[in-house]
Structure 1
Amino acid sequence: MCKNDFFGIYIHIPYCKSKCRYCDFYSAPGAQGVPQPYVDALLRELAKNSRRPDTLYFGGGTPALMTPEQAALLIKEANPLPGAEITLEANPDVVTPETLQGFRAAGVTRISFGVQSADDAQLRRLGRTHTAAGATQALGWAREAGFPEICGDIMLALPEYSNAEFDRTLALLQEGGCTHISAYLLKVEPGTAFYRNPPAGLPDNDAAADFYLYAVQQLEAAGYRQYEISNFAKPGHEGRHNLLYWNCRDYWGVGPAAHSCMGSVRRFWPDDVQGFTAGTTAEQPEGDCTAEDFLLMQLRLTSGLSLAEYNRRGGQFTAAQLAFMRQCVQHGYATFDEHTFRLTPAGMVVQNAILTELL
């Protein structure tokens, strides 16, 4: 099942200055930064691991609310291999030239900014606390700090969205030196402020699909090659850590709400920051990594699903499913050479419907 030749560690920093209106991730108030007892709890868990990671990912929440000194302690305890990719997620308005220089000195190689839009009115609507000018400034500081990998997020199909808004956001990221861009559709999730009070002007499904296809086209034209349904990179700058997830390799998550897949077994931490900090919670079993999980992950990638590898993992398509895959090719949703099944951008728009037929 999950291969064991690569290994990544995900460290969850759940603290945020404020909750974005679309966010359904587990988080905790963090206006005062990341409490040292929480960092100490992460250090306690990391000390139990002896396997050196190829990648280390600080996700959240807002990991850049840590001090560089806290990040350095966690990186040292994780003991990554030489040349490891070490990613830190950040909001543009929580960093300074000094903290970015500190994170780089601590060993962070990849900084990822949640920019989302270059439209200030849109950012306010989303509940983001930065401005477009602030994002431009933060990207400049990151370049000056010497990060070899600078990443930016774009949200698509936002309220009152337009291709022109996407173009402005792409230009901001491109001019800011981004080597990697994540572009994903807004989803209104239960439990969010947007779910309780939906904003006016949300595009319908057909319009959202058009925005996605336009984004794929424009990103490719700007030199960002699509390698996953929502991820685009300059050649050679793909995110190594998330590829561990999509290729069903070993990763270990640490912190409340973090998930793991180790030796084909999936586990997770309960959503309980107090319990994690106090050491009264533990990882819980979630189930095995199956052939179906592999199919789900591989069809996110533009490299596609190898039928031989799917069969090796215990999967098997019926004659009817193979006929459906060939129909997908005829409709422009996929390519299939009888060995590898790959979704096109149009196929990724209707991925859920395709998966329904294949699972």
Structure 2
Amino acid sequence: MSLGLYLHIPYCFSKCRYCDFYSHPGERGVPDAYVDALLRELHRFAPNAPLRPDTVYFGGGTPSLLTPAQTERLIRAAEPVPGAEITLEANPETVTEESLRGFRAAGVNRISFGVQSARDTQLRTLGRPHSAKQARAAFAAARRAGFENISGDIMLALPHYTQAEFDETLELIEKGGATHISAYLLKIEPDSAFGKHPPEGLPTSDEAADFYLYAVEQLEHHGYLQYEISNFAKPGYEGRHNLIYWDCGDYLGLGPAAHSCMGGKRFCYAPDTAAFLQDAAAPIMDGNCGAEDYLILQLRLRKGLDLAAYKAIYGKQFSTAQLAFVQNCVRAGYATFDGSTLALTPAGLIVQNSILAQLL
């Protein structure tokens, strides 16, 4: 069974207007004390031997505010297995060729750039601190630094959005050498700046769905095959860390607001960096990961839910009513079902929540 290690880096330059992740804006680096606290927790979970994860993921916040030396300390302490996927999320304006070479030497072998849009006016609307020019430079620097596994994020259905804006953003990321693309619809979160003051020009839900279907079509046309609701990859470059989540594998998340699931038990840290630094924030138990979670997560994947595995792992099988509903979904073009595997189509993924509500 694979094990994924997630390290939350809650520091960032500024808060993007759509973001409701736990983070500290106004920072220009990561304190060594925070790295020490992560190392303390790593030792707490693996006191007698290294953790040996199959994947390591530095998420944020802005993990590229770490120094390469700090990153190396954390990777060395975790002792990932040979060939492990080690991902660092990066904002384009925070990296240089020198820092990227340092991250590569530290053991990072996959870099993920938050691009979102190729239009500077849109980036300013979103509160992104980088420009399209900086995004292009970051991709070029990553390739020169030796990265072959590069991901880029695209946000869809932004204010006053057009297919042309998507095309420009895809061109920037593809020309940058990306082997993986995450493309997701803008969601207005209540606790974000956009939640408090929604921007003008947002597409309707039907228009957003059309942008999503257009993105799926264009990405596949350019060789990025959809393997999950928001993720597309050149063959062999699927994100191994996130696949652990979607396959209900074991993952350990360290840092304030980080979530874990080990042996079917969920737990998380309180969103409180001060308490985490002071070792005053023990993980909080957060229930179990069971059959419902498995069904929900497997139906995020284009490969879908294997009913034999569902029965073998959880002892569950679809009722006559559920099977009848599945056939309705197939007739409506929302799913494919061959009697053993249920998979949602791109049109089905848009209305996934409604389908899950019926199945559950």
Do the structures match in fold with TM over 0.5? yes
* In the alignment, structure 1 residue 47 sits paired with structure 2 residue 57: no
Q: Residue 7 of structure 1 is aligned with which of 3, 24, 29?
A: 3
Give the corresponding residue for 2:336. Answer: 335
Contact 1:30 1:65 in 2 (8 A): no
Distance 1:47 1:30 in 2: 30
Give the corresponding residue for 1:326. Answer: 327
Give the corresponding residue for 1:244. Answer: 244
Contact 1:153 1:182 in 2 (8 A): yes
Distance 2:298 2:242 in 1: 12
Distance 2:109 2:271 in 1: 28
Distance 2:39 2:96 in 1: 25
What is the aligned length?
355
* In the alignment, structure 1 residue 20 sits paired with structure 2 residue 21: no
Give the corresponding residue for 2:33. Answer: 37
Give the corresponding residue for 1:210. Answer: 210
Distance 1:180 1:357 in 2: 32
Provide the secondary structure at the position in 2 that maps to 1:188: coil
Give the corresponding residue for 1:273. Answer: 273
Distance 2:65 2:97 in 1: 14
Give matches, 1:39-188, under 5 Å: 39-48=35-44, 49=46, 50=49, 51-188=51-188
Distance 2:202 2:25 in 1: 29
Deviation at 1:71, TM superposition (A): 0.3
Distance 2:213 2:249 in 1: 29
- More relative contact order in 1 or in 2 (CA 8 Å, sep 6+)? 1
* In the alignment, structure 1 residue 345 sits paired with structure 2 residue 341: no
Deviation at 1:46, TM superposition (A): 1.1
Q: Deviations over 1:265-290 (max 9, x none)?
A: 01101101010011011111101111
Give the corresponding residue for 2:317. Answer: 316
Deviation at 1:358, TM superposition (A): 0.6
Distance 2:38 2:161 in 1: 40
Distance 1:100 1:202 in 2: 36
Provide the secondary structure at the position in 1 that maps to 2:36: helix
Q: Identity across aligned pairs (percent)?
A: 65
Deviation at 1:28, TM superposition (A): 1.1
Give the corresponding residue for 1:355. Answer: 356
Distance 2:11 2:342 in 1: 40
Q: Deviations over 1:308-354 (max 9, x none)?
A: 12223133322111100011000100000111000000000100100
Deviation at 1:210, TM superposition (A): 0.1
Distance 2:196 2:270 in 1: 25
Distance 1:290 1:250 in 2: 13
Distance 1:190 1:270 in 2: 19
Deviation at 1:30, TM superposition (A): 4.8
With normalisation by structure 1, the TM-score equals 0.98
Distance 1:111 1:334 in 2: 33
Distance 1:87 1:346 in 2: 30
Deviation at 1:80, TM superposition (A): 0.4
Distance 1:301 1:14 in 2: 28
Moved over 3 A (4+): none
Contact 1:12 1:254 in 2 (8 A): yes
Distance 2:110 2:230 in 1: 18
Q: Deviations over 1:26-74 (max 9, x none)?
A: 0013523001111100011112323310000000000000000000000
Amino acid at match of 2:328: Q
Give the corresponding residue for 2:295. Answer: 295
Provide the secondary structure at the position in 2 that maps to 1:15: coil
Contact 1:292 1:315 in 2 (8 A): no
Deviation at 1:94, TM superposition (A): 0.5
Give the corresponding residue for 2:258. Answer: 258
Give the corresponding residue for 2:197. Answer: 197
Distance 2:144 2:60 in 1: 24
Contact 1:97 1:145 in 2 (8 A): yes
Provide the secondary structure at the position in 1 that maps to 2:154: strand
Q: Deviations over 1:249-301 (max 9, x none)?
A: 01000000110110010110110101001101111110111100000100000
Q: Deviations over 1:65-87 (max 9, x none)?
A: 00000000000011101100000
Amino acid at match of 2:8: H
For structure 1, the 5+ residue unaligned runs are: none
For structure 2, the 5+ residue unaligned runs are: none
With normalisation by structure 2, the TM-score equals 0.98
Provide the secondary structure at the position in 1 that maps to 2:286: strand
Deviation at 1:148, TM superposition (A): 2.0
Contact 2:12 2:28 in 1 (8 A): no
Amino acid at match of 1:346: A
